[in-house]
Amino acid sequence: MKNQKLSRGGALLAACLLAVSAVTVPVFAEEESETTAAVTESIETTDSAESADSAESSDATDEPDAAEEAADAEDTEDAAADPDSEEPETFESGEYSYSLHKNAEDEEDGSIVLETYWGTESVLELPSELDGKTVSALGESFMTESHSLTEVTLPATVTELGAFTFASCQGLTDYHVAEGNPVFESRDGVLYAGDGTLLMRYPAGRQPTEMEVPEGVTEIGSVAFAGCTQLKSVKLPESLVYIGVAAFTECSSLTEFTVPSGVTEIEAFTFNSCTALKTVNLPETITRIGNAAFAATALDSFEFPASCVSVGQQAFAATNIKEITIPNTVVSLSYAAFGFIVNDGGMLVMDPDFVIYGEYGSEAARYAQEGDEDESFKFVNIGTTMSRATTATTESGLSSGTKKIIKIAGIIACALLLAVILLIALLSGKKRGAAQDQKAADADDTDTNETAEMTDAAAESAAEAEPDAADAAEPDPASTEKEESGDE
């Protein structure tokens, strides 16, 4: 089986590994608070990171310059989107390590990227210059889960953040931005970009129980609310069109969530390990649900939006969902999207009691039939037609042993049927031969009778002809007398 072992560590930390790992198979994590998290790392997640980069850098205002600045703010997510990229060479200076910054053409531009801070300051003002080089960006996982940090100030020179910079800093209560920064700004301690249209990071240390995102915000950045463990409810504006990767991961008190109609995709890890999340309201505009988006939540049911066409790996793994109705509009279901649970050994395994409702010939039927290697999910056909290609998927969810028995029985039945067909053919051949012999005999009798009739007819004709000949040979008395008189 394709079971996966769970390891210690937060789901967010596992998500951060996307930035540096070249592995493209599922990875799972388990929270230290006994919360089980299923985190997927795959090619599709890579696509999600690219989507995050693209969406978070889109034009959210009428000012082109502001849009470009917002794009710069998330450019470093490209590294997360490329698992094959090499680790940058780092240099040390004081309490920091840094790498050389590269522009869009992958050329060094003379500035640097802060990668690590090993100091102990809880109120930290980041430098604008190290070793004579301008600090222009913060690395992918710079100060991720730095719980001792309470306040941080970004210099005016920093215009880019990594995908997981400052993620889940449980003590961080305020973001500050130095005057003159062209991209970032702080509003009531919350970090924004793009003239306030992109909410980049909310200080997790505030641990709010309720949150209302201001109207006018069009995008929520990756890991923006990650680790806000006390957050129970969130109200999002109608202006919102994008929610980033892992934006609400590990919000373990969140019970209900409503996504605005302007949002079209649920990115990877968005609600991963939101262990209290039982109700989610998705708009009909959703077309894709990313990898592990709802993994390790309390969801016990799910209804597909009308426009949804694909579901990523482990999107609903380790949830309380026991059955699912999958419409024909869904054309892509990745491995372990539904029906996988975590067993006592910490392995993600197929739930043998999981039921899938769908139509034969659909993606739902394929997913149910493939299951996990030799095992299939129980599949209930709700359509009116049956495809020959999917008749192997039955409503009983047959085990591999039962399938083998049925296959053997089928072979025996076919052999018996073939024997019966041969016997019938043999008997038919004999009967056909006897019929042909009788037909030949009848034909011979007919020929004999016809010959005899022809002979009789000929005889009668001859008999009739003989008197005429006799009459012709006997002289006429009158003529004889006349001839004799003449002679005299």
- Residue 209's CB: how many other CB atoms inside 10 A? 10
Q: What are the tens digits of pLDDT across the range 175-213?
A: 999 999 999 999 999 999 999 999 999 999 999 999 999
The reported pLDDT for the residue numbered 106 is 86
Higher pLDDT, 442 or 53: 442
Regarding whether 303 and 208 lie in a shared domain, the answer is yes
The reported pLDDT for the residue numbered 21 is 33
**Is the residue at 386 inside a domain?**
no
Q: Is the pLDDT score of 217 beyond 70?
A: yes
Q: Is the pLDDT score of 471 beyond 50?
A: no
The reported pLDDT for the residue numbered 6 is 36
Task: Read off the pTM.
Answer: 0.68
**Is the residue at 381 inside a domain?**
no
Q: Is the pLDDT score of 284 beyond 70?
A: yes
Regarding whether 213 and 284 lie in a shared domain, the answer is yes
The reported pLDDT for the residue numbered 383 is 85
- Which domain-ending residue is among 319, 334, 351? 351
Mean pLDDT, the chain, integer: 76
- Domain with 73, as residue range(s), is 4-351
Order of strands across the sheet that contains 332-333: 265-266, 288-289, 310-311, 332-333
Regarding whether 347 and 444 lie in a shared domain, the answer is no
* Mean pLDDT score, 94-110: 92
Highest mean pLDDT: which range of 54-58, 136-140, 406-410: 136-140
**Is the residue at 376 inside a domain?**
no
* Mean pLDDT score, 328-342: 96
In the chain, how many domains are there?
Answer: 2
The reported pLDDT for the residue numbered 60 is 37
The reported pLDDT for the residue numbered 453 is 52
Q: What are the tens digits of pLDDT across the range 236-260?
A: 999 999 999 999 999 999 999 999 9
Q: How far is CA 156 from CA 126, 182, 188, 470, in A?
A: 10, 7, 18, 151
Regarding whether 477 and 340 lie in a shared domain, the answer is no
Regarding whether 325 and 267 lie in a shared domain, the answer is yes
Regarding whether 337 and 473 lie in a shared domain, the answer is no
Regarding whether 125 and 257 lie in a shared domain, the answer is yes
3-state secondary structure the chain: CCCEECEECCHHHHHHHHHCCCCCCCEEEECCCCCEEEECCCHHHHHHHHHHHHHHCCCCCCCHHHHHHHHHHCCCHHHHHCCCCCCCCEEEECCEEEEEEECCCCCEEEEEEEEEECCCCCEEECCCEECCEEEEEECCCCCCCCCCCCEEEECCCCCECCCCCCCCCCCCCEEEECCCCCCEEEECCEEEECCCCEEEECCHHHCCCEEECCCCCCEECCCCCCCCCCCCEEECCCCCCEECCCCCCCCCCCCEEECCCCCCEECCCCCCCCCCCCEEECCCCCCEECCCCCCCCCCCCCCCCCCCCEECCCCCCCCCCCEEECCCCCCEECCCCCCEEECCCCEEEECCCCEEEECCCCHHHHHHHHCECCECCEEEECCCCCCHHHCCCCCCCCCHHHHHHHHHHHHHHHHHHHHHHHHHHHHHHHHHHHHHHHHHHHHHHHHHHHHHHHHHHHHHHHHHHHHHHHHHHCCCHHHHHHHHHHHC
Regarding whether 405 and 289 lie in a shared domain, the answer is no
In this prediction, residue 318 has a pLDDT band, given cuts at 50, 70 and 90, of very high
Q: What are the tens digits of pLDDT across the range 431-458?
A: 555 555 555 555 555 555 554 455 455 5
* Mean pLDDT score, 78-84: 44
Regarding whether 418 and 325 lie in a shared domain, the answer is no
Q: Is the pLDDT score of 359 beyond 80?
A: yes
The reported pLDDT for the residue numbered 113 is 97
In this prediction, residue 485 has a pLDDT band, given cuts at 50, 70 and 90, of very low
Q: Is the pLDDT score of 77 beyond 70?
A: no
**Is the residue at 286 inside a domain?**
yes
By percentage, how much of the chain surpasses pLDDT 90? 57
* Mean pLDDT score, 39-48: 36
Regarding whether 428 and 288 lie in a shared domain, the answer is no
**Is the residue at 393 inside a domain?**
no
**Is the residue at 359 inside a domain?**
no
- Which domain-ending residue is among 351, 371, 390? 351
**Is the residue at 365 inside a domain?**
no
Q: Is the pLDDT score of 303 beyond 50?
A: yes
**Is the residue at 267 inside a domain?**
yes
Least confident of 62-66, 224-228, 291-295: 62-66
Regarding whether 251 and 110 lie in a shared domain, the answer is yes
Regarding whether 414 and 327 lie in a shared domain, the answer is no
